[in-house]
Homo-oligomer: A and B are copies of this chain.
């Protein structure tokens, strides 16, 4: 067979007996073309199976219709909803997302930012606020809207929506303390900056309450998963058999801790109360149902995408406020001893 080149706009134009510009207009601004020409061009497009070359289009128009999105993980259920929310806003608006997973690595993030910038995205949506100086420099000199999500900071690159993880950790501990617990353990994963802040909140709360954390904290450097939660809680149980509650940096670890309790014949919540973080889907399905700190993942994704869209569309109008704290809330379920509703919503607030 002959060398089959993909059809170009010129091929379509020739086939339809019109000029290339007209074909372009049929695709981008159909209302500017007379019905008969439009029909002819559309027929040509169909017979040739023509699909416009996005690269050429972007190059010529200097509008790429691309937004770069960076997430630290995909294995962890947290970013699914978030991504989905972003794409639900952006895709219908004709904006493609270029998603890169940087596996909780600053180096991979720098690399990803450089790569993404090479595609000239019209905006970037990043998870977290812990970008390196080099990352920030690249972003700034690219001069595009940037949204940092999932966390809050006093020094945002541009826009920022998130929650205060230290406050959330603090609140979780206070909640467990109010339930009567004082030997409260914490399981965490060091790789995640937000988990580190939750840990800081835990430590601050324990200190404020005058409680010792001796032997009560277990951390894994690795990516956290359900199995790891069991292993970490086993460590704590060996060191402090009298531990009465455990707060984990995420729901996976919490579920793992519950399984470990089952294995050891420890009753949840009677012997040990378990509290997770993120309120993933399985929290309402597990036995016992898992108390957790609920975060507004979809809200953050939607707001980030909508803001970006507004800026791109309005060619520069900035959403006010530029910083949003969406807060969190404590979801009391069976694993901490009851369905007793104890919402502790921190108000959404403008920073």
Contact = CB atoms under 8 A, between A and B. Distances in A.
A75 interface: yes
A347 to B, nearest CB: 30
Which interface residue of A56, A80, A119, A256 has the most chain B CB atoms within 10 A?
A119
A133 interface: no
A58 to B, nearest CB: 5
A298 to B, nearest CB: 13
A64 interface: yes
A184 to B, nearest CB: 23
Interface stretch (A17-25, A32-40, A46-54, A124-132): A46-54
A55 B51 contact: no
Nearest to A137: B49
Given A98-B98, A138-B51, A143-B6, A285 B256 contact: yes
Interface stretch (A110-118, A199-207, A270-278): A110-118
A338 interface: no
Contacts of A54: 118-120
B4 A143 contact: yes
A77 B80 contact: no
A94 to B, nearest CB: 10
Interface in A316-330: none
Given A98-B98, A287-B259, A287-B263, A117 B51 contact: yes
A74 B118 CA distance: 26
B281 A227 contact: yes
B49 A55 contact: no
Closest 4 CB pairs of A and B: A227-B285, A54-B118, A49-B141, A262-B287
A80 to B, nearest CB: 4
A93 interface: no
Nearest to A259: B287
A98 B77 CA distance: 21
Nearest to A111: B91
A142 B51 CA distance: 9
Interface of A: 4, 6, 49, 51-56, 58-59, 64, 74-75, 77, 80-81, 83-84, 87, 96, 98-99, 101, 114-115, 117-120, 137-138, 141-143, 225-227, 229-230, 255-256, 259, 262-263, 281-282, 284-287
Contacts of A53: 59, 118, 120
Contacts of A142: 6, 51
Contact of A51 (B59, B114, B284): B114
Contact of A52 (B55, B75, B96, B118): B118
A218 B101 CA distance: 36
A256 B285 CA distance: 7
10 contacts: A6-B141, A51-B117, A52-B118, A54-B119, A54-B120, A55-B58, A55-B119, A59-B59, A83-B101, A255-B282
Nearest to A117: B51
Contact of A226 (B84, B117, B285): B285
A98 B256 CA distance: 34
A96 B66 CA distance: 15
A225 B259 contact: no
A58 B137 CA distance: 25
A105 to B, nearest CB: 13
